[in-house]
């Protein structure tokens, strides 16, 4: 089975992403744009969530209306840049749980090393959205999903802003059952594992640390 990548390239998303890429965009603006994009992407990502008929009463009469059914959501940001996606997604699904996974890249090997994990107990019965703005080498994403699968989760989706072709390939090879949703597929990685043309260091740009 080979994995599926969905490009969510709605004009509003592309416009906001262009502003995020601009090196002169401020931290405040960058954060706002990421929050807006995460809502637009989340909207598309959740298009296939199951709904059920429920009976309600409007001020005028009874009716059968559609409401979300089935599995609940868990958002799992990969620390720290993944945090930039959380507020926007929670705005769409306020009852979602939030797990966390902390990974850093070994600067020499570019391998992902984990330093923190915390998930809700019932991951097996949830749709899990693993989120990280940049799918670069794919090592962090693969490692994060390895940890998420160990919790018993089986319905997992990976959401990013920009993916590199090599990251997509690595991720699908390791997790063909986990679809990727991205707003852009950029050209390549530089020698330090950064995506070109990219947005630079997503964590630094979200948190203003550089």
Separation between Cα atoms, residue 81 and residue 63, nearest integer Å: 44
- Rule CB under 6 A: choose which of 13, 81, 89, 180 binds ligand URA: 81
Q: How near is the Cβ of 45 to ligand URA at its closest, in Å?
A: 21
Segment 134-163, which members bind ligand URA (CB under 6 A)? 134, 136
At closest approach, how far in Å is the CB of 195 from ligand URA? 4
Judge whether 109 counts as a catalytic residue. Answer: yes
Report the residue number, 111 or 177, with the smaller CB distance to ligand URA. 111
Both tokens of 75, joined, read: 């958002």
Q: Does 201 bind ligand URA (CB under 6 A)?
A: yes
Specify the residue for token string 């203003």.
Answer: 208
Taking the least distance from each CB to ligand URA, the nearer of 152 and 197 is: 197
Catalytic: which of 6, 25, 32, 105?
Answer: 105
Residues between 48 and 77 that touch ligand URA (CB under 6 A): none
Give yes or no for a contact between 194 and 142, defined as CB atoms under 8 angstroms apart: no
Question: What track of x and - describes contact with ligand URA for positions 16 through 55 (by CB under 6 A)?
Answer: ----------------------------------------
Task: Choose the catalytic residue: 22, 87, 109, 187.
Answer: 109
Strand blocks (E) in the chain: 5-7, 51-57, 62-68, 72-79, 97-98, 100-105, 112-118, 126-131, 134-135, 155-159, 162-163, 180-182, 184-185, 188-189, 195-196
- Residue 201 annotated among the catalytic residues of the structure: yes
Residue 65 CB, nearest approach to ligand URA (Å): 42
Q: Return the number of the residue (89 or 202) whose C-beta is nearest ligand URA.
A: 202
Cβ of residue 155: shortest distance to ligand URA, in angstroms?
26
- Token pair belonging to 6: 């969905």
Closest CA to 84 of 10, 160, 9: 160
Closest to 88 (Cα-Cα) out of 32, 160, 128: 32
The verdict on 194 binding ligand URA (CB under 6 A) reads: yes
CA distances from 141 to 27, 156, 174, 178, 195 (A): 24, 12, 10, 11, 15
Q: Are 187 and 159 in contact (CB under 8 A)?
A: no
Q: Which residues bind ligand URA (CB under 6 A)?
A: 81, 134, 136, 193-195, 198, 201-203
Residues classed as catalytic: 105, 109, 201, 204
């Amino acid at each position: 089975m080979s994995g599926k990548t969905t490009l969510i390239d709605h004009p509003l998303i592309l416009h906001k992403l262009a502003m995020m890429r601009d090196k002169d965009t401020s931290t405040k603006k960058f954060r706002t744009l990421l929050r807006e994009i995460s809502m637009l992407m989340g909207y598309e990502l959740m298009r296939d969530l199951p709904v059920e008929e429920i009976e309600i009463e409007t001020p005028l009469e009874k009716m059968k209306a559609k409401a979300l059914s089935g599995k609940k959501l868990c958002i799992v940001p990969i620390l720290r840049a993944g945090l930039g996606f959380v507020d926007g997604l929670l705005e769409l699904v306020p009852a979602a749980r939030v797990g966390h996974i902390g990974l850093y890249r070994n600067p020499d090997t570019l391998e992902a090393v984990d330093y923190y994990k915390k998930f809700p107990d019932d991951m097996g019965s949830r749709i899990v959205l693993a989120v990280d703005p940049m799918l670069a080498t794919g090592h962090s994403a693969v490692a994060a999903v390895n940890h998420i699968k160990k919790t018993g989760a089986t319905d997992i989706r990976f959401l990013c802003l920009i993916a590199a072709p090599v990251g997509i390939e690595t991720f699908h090879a390791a997790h063909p059952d986990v679809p990727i949703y991205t707003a852009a597929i950029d050209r390549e990685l530089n020698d330090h594992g950064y995506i070109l043309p990219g947005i630079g260091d997503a964590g630094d740009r979200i948190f203003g640390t550089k």
